[in-house]
């Protein structure tokens, strides 16, 4: 009786399991990965000399260089921000992503709107130097 040796397998039979593993990993990372949403308008955050990196949160207020506002990707007026944040004040933490060129007064107005809505914690996003 003669048995066929494993070295007599064709090249295609040896590569097939590797291709299967690569496709399974590709599918896994496609399903498990999370795509980040783009900002509603360009925002260049101010530089930061220190601080710690903050994890992701759901609530983000964007303040553009011209003072325009957006909440979670939707462009709003001040009144629109007040009503949108009022329904979500129970989250407790809101991130503010303000452009480095916006006037500080505008950012303070946004902070006051959030405080009046019951937000207890704010995180001002910056970029490392």
Q: What is the pLDDT of residues 69-110, one digit of tens each?
A: 998 888 989 888 888 887 776 666 888 999 888 899 999 999
Q: What is the mean pLDDT of residues 108-122?
A: 88
- Would you state the pLDDT for residue 122? 87
Q: What is the mean pLDDT of residues 115-128?
A: 84
- Would you state the pLDDT for residue 51? 53
The structure tokens 């590797």 sit at 18
- Would you state the pLDDT for residue 85? 83
Reported confidence tier of residue 117, pLDDT bands at 50, 70, 90 = confident
Helices 78-86 & 104-116, crossing angle to 10 degrees?
Answer: 30
Residue 82 CA to residue 96 CA, distance in Å, equals: 14
Residue 100 CA to residue 127 CA, distance in Å, equals: 10
Q: To the nearest 10°, the Cα dihedral for 101, 111, 96, 69? A: -70
User: How many CB atoms neighbour CB 61 within 10 A?
Assistant: 25
Reported confidence tier of residue 126, pLDDT bands at 50, 70, 90 = confident
Domain ranges of the chain: 47-128
Fold (CATH) for 47-128: Nucleotidyltransferase; domain 5 (3.30.420)
- Would you state the pLDDT for residue 83? 86
Q: What is the pLDDT of residues 25-78, one digit of tens each?
A: 998 888 777 666 677 777 776 666 555 544 445 688 999 989 899 988 889 898
């Amino acid at each position: 009786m003669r048995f066929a040796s494993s070295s007599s397998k064709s090249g295609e039979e040896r590569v097939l399991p590797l291709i299967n593993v690569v496709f399974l990993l590709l599918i896994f990372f496609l399903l498990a990965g999370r795509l980040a949403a783009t900002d509603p308008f360009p925002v260049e955050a101010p530089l930061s000399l220190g601080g710690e990196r903050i994890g992701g949160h759901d609530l983000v207020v964007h303040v553009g260089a011209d003072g325009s506002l957006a909440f979670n990707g939707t462009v709003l007026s001040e009144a629109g921000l007040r009503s949108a944040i009022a329904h979500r004040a129970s989250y407790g933490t809101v991130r503010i992503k303000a452009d480095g060129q916006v006037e500080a007064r505008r950012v303070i107005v946004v902070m006051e709107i959030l405080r009046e809505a019951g937000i207890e914690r704010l995180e001002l996003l910056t970029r490392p130097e």
